[in-house]
């Protein structure tokens, strides 16, 4: 079982970018933790980071038949990208949206998500641990979906 992990713009700067908001862990630290958890769960990951909206849209579209779910931190595209939202809706894979900071406690423009309405859930405000929470949730949803169980994500 493969899960697609997408990191949006500026997440490649984690560790040095506004550590008071985003913490000191690097993207490599987060990816390493995700791989460790994936090994424990018995799944594989395809991880992509891009600062370009079209690259993320292409990755979402290419995930059909390759992945059974998507964990996405769309970063700034959360608040602006109808294209990413539409791609997620089009592929129909269970999607979990994550954010390092609590977007609902930030500037007003950051409180709206185009992604949330097409995601099975959103995790925000738990720093890098949010990625692990999101991966566990997505794995559980994907297993249920693959086994034909009804409920969240089907």
- What is the rounded CA–CA span in Å between residue 45 and residue 27? 15
User: Which of 77, 99, 114, 131 is labelled catalytic?
Assistant: 99
User: Which of 22, 77, 114, 131 is labelled catalytic?
Assistant: 22
- Residue 99 appears among annotated catalytic residues: yes
Within 10 Å of residue 67's Cβ, how many Cβ atoms? 23
**Structural contact between residues 31 and 95, judged by C-beta atoms closer than 8 angstroms:** no
- What is the rounded CA–CA span in Å between residue 53 and residue 70? 16
Residues paired with residue 123 on neighbouring β-strands, in sequence order:
98
Strands 44-49 and 2-7, by their bridges, are parallel
Q: Strand order in 44-49's β-sheet?
A: 44-49, 2-7, 70-73, 95-99, 121-124
- Residue 35 appears among annotated catalytic residues: no
- What is the rounded CA–CA span in Å between residue 52 and residue 46? 17
> Which residues carry out catalysis?
22, 99
């Amino acid at each position: 079982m493969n899960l697609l992990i997408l990191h949006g713009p500026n997440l490649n700067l984690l560790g040095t970018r506004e550590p008071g908001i985003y913490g000191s862990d690097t993207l490599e630290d987060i990816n390493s933790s995700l791989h460790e958890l994936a090994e424990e769960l018995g799944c594989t990951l395809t991880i992509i980071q891009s600062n370009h909206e079209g690259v993320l849209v292409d990755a979402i579209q290419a995930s059909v038949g390759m992945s059974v779910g998507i964990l996405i931190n769309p970063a700034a595209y959360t608040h602006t990208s109808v294209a990413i939202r539409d791609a997620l809706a089009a592929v129909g894979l269970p999607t979990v949206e994550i954010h390092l900071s609590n977007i609902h406690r930030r500037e007003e423009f950051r409180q709206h998500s185009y992604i949330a309405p097409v995601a099975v859930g959103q995790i925000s405000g738990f720093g890098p641990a949010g990625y692990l929470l999101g991966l566990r949730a997505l794995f559980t949803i994907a297993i249920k979906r693959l086994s034909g169980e009804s409920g969240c994500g089907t």
